[in-house]
């Protein structure tokens, strides 16, 4: 299930995205010591900036590459994508040149689904050392009633009723809502029109993260990812709801480091 967020400092995030190395990627800290790239895929309505603090928290051996989708932050002037096949095709063209060293993937909510589909389309020679999916039910999990095609007013009401994540300051600012609504609607269209096509399971290890108080993706829905890999599957739950990647950031990053068997400690 997609997760939305609009922070109170979103005006700055719309204008500033430092260290962009490609329209599709933001790398906060380039390091000659890095021997692994961690590609991070944001949730619905989110941009690459949500992972801006990760590079300082993770060991220097990890280069955090935050994926930036069209229509947000430094790509605000571009049309958001609404079809998973189109998005995956463009991601592949843009990101394959960055797979010249070992890499892992992390995706939260809708971002996990996008990462999963991108991974499925990669040539077999490109295999991540690990796929971390977070707060995302398995692909064939039934979805709530669609709302992407609702009129603006009803769409906003449905977002608030289901997710309650849009601050009042944003709701009362027509200019800000005008900027965010196309992205939110596009992301929900992407999610609600997505259809899983059966195929071979992933060949890489998969770890599913979840929040103990998350009513949008419970433990059973995360466990349902197990058949989607022929390799090792693990699962880890953290205190918190759908926002646990923020409220439990330190233990989450520690779990990633430990799973990747990195020598450095946080």
183-202 residue pLDDT tens: 999 999 999 999 999 999 99
Query: How far apart, in whole angstroms, are the C-alpha atoms of residue 80 and residue 69?
Result: 7
Which are the contacts of 216, defined by CB distance < 8 A and separation ≥ 6?
1, 3, 109, 135, 163, 242
Mean pLDDT of 246-265: 84
Instruction: From 111, 123, 118, 113, select the one nearest 88 (Cα to Cα).
Output: 118
22 is catalytic: no
Sheet holding 206-211, edge to edge: 20-22, 25-27, 62-67, 36-41, 103-108, 130-134, 206-211, 233-238
Q: Which two tokens stand for residue 114?
A: 């996008």
Mean pLDDT of 38-44: 96
Mean pLDDT of 55-68: 93
Q: How confident is the model at residue 262 (pLDDT cuts 50, 70, 90)?
A: low
Instruction: From 51, 39, 42, select the one nearest 92 (Cα to Cα).
Output: 39
Bridge pairing between strands 233-238 and 103-108: unpaired
pLDDT tens-place string over residues 116-133: 999 999 998 999 999 999
Is residue 180 exposed (0-12), middle (13-18) or buried (19+ Cβ within 10 Å)?
Answer: buried
Is residue 16 exposed (0-12), middle (13-18) or buried (19+ Cβ within 10 Å)?
Answer: exposed
pLDDT > 60? residue 1: no
Q: Which two tokens stand for residue 23?
A: 């329209």
Query: How far apart, in whole angstroms, are the C-alpha atoms of residue 151 and residue 208?
Result: 35
Q: Which two tokens stand for residue 192?
A: 């609600």
Q: Which two tokens stand for residue 175?
A: 């200019």
User: Among residues 109, 134, 230, 231, which one is catalytic?
Assistant: 109
pLDDT > 50? residue 265: no
Query: How far apart, in whole angstroms, are the C-alpha atoms of residue 12 and residue 18?
Result: 11
Which CATH number describes the domain made up of 10-258? 3.40.50.1820
More confident residue, 15 or 26: 26
Q: What pLDDT shows up at residue 17?
A: 40
| H, E, C per residue of 62-118 | EEEEEECCCCCHHHCCCCCCCCHHHHHHHHHHHHHHHCCCCEEEEEECHHHHHHHHH
CA 262 to chain CA centroid, Å, is 23
More confident residue, 153 or 11: 153
Cα first-last separation, the chain: 30
Q: How many CA atoms lie within 13 A of 199 on its CB side?
A: 11
């Amino acid at each position: 299930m997609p997760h939305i967020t609009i922070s109170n400092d979103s005006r700055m995030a719309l204008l500033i995205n430092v260290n962009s190395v490609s329209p599709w990627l933001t790398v906060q800290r380039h390091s000659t010591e890095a021997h692994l790239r961690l590609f991070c895929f944001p949730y619905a309505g989110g941009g690459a900036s949500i992972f801006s603090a990760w590079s300082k928290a993770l060991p220097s051996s990890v280069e955090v590459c935050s994926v930036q989708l069209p229509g947000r932050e430094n790509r605000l002037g571009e049309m958001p994508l609404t079809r998973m096949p189109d998005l995956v095709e463009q991601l592949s063209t843009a990101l394959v040149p960055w797979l010249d060293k070992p890499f892992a993937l992390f995706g939260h909510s809708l971002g996990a689904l996008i990462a999963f589909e991108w991974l499925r389309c990669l040539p077999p020679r490109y295999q991540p050392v690990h796929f971390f999916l977070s707060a995302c039910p398995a692909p064939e999990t039934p979805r709530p009633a669609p709302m992407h095609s609702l009129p603006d007013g009803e769409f906003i009401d449905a977002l608030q009723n289901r997710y309650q994540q849009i601050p009042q300051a944003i709701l009362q600012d027509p200019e800000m809502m005008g900027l965010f609504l196309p992205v939110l609607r596009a992301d929900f269209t992407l999610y609600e029109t997505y259809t899983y096509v059966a195929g071979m399971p992933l060949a890489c290890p998969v770890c599913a993260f979840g929040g103990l108080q998350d009513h949008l993706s419970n433990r059973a829905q995360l466990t349902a990812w197990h058949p989607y890999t022929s390799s090792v599957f693990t699962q880890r739950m953290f205190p918190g709801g759908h926002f646990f990647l923020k409220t439990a950031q330190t233990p989450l990053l520690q779990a990633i480091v430990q799973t990747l068997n990195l020598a450095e400690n946080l």
